[in-house]
Amino acid sequence: MEHVQMNIPSKGKFATELARVLRQDGMVVFHKIFSDFGDDPHFPVPWADGPSGNFFVSKENFQNALKEAGLEVIQLEGRDRAFFAMV
């Protein structure tokens, strides 16, 4: 899954739906951009024309949503603004 979560306002619902559709021992690989760097993007960006369509959260908040949905983060690696995760 590449660059999806920043388009979805409710990270909890997003994570719950992932947990619902994954098979037992299934895996999702993410390539995401998070808000951990403190500066807002300069709009427009590929996923939003302006702030009203931008649903960034911190890496920690997104991980918490995944964990609350019963998903386990197997690996998390950060590079610049992007983080790669296996869930």
Closest CA to 34 of 13, 53, 49, 55: 55
Cα distance between residue 4 and residue 7, in whole Å:
6
Domain count, the chain: 1
* Better-scored residue on pLDDT, 7 or 79: 7
pLDDT digits (tens, 9 = 90+) for 21-34: 988 888 888 777 77
Q: Whole-model pTM?
A: 0.79
* pLDDT value at 83 more than 70: no
| Domain containing residue 45 | 5-86
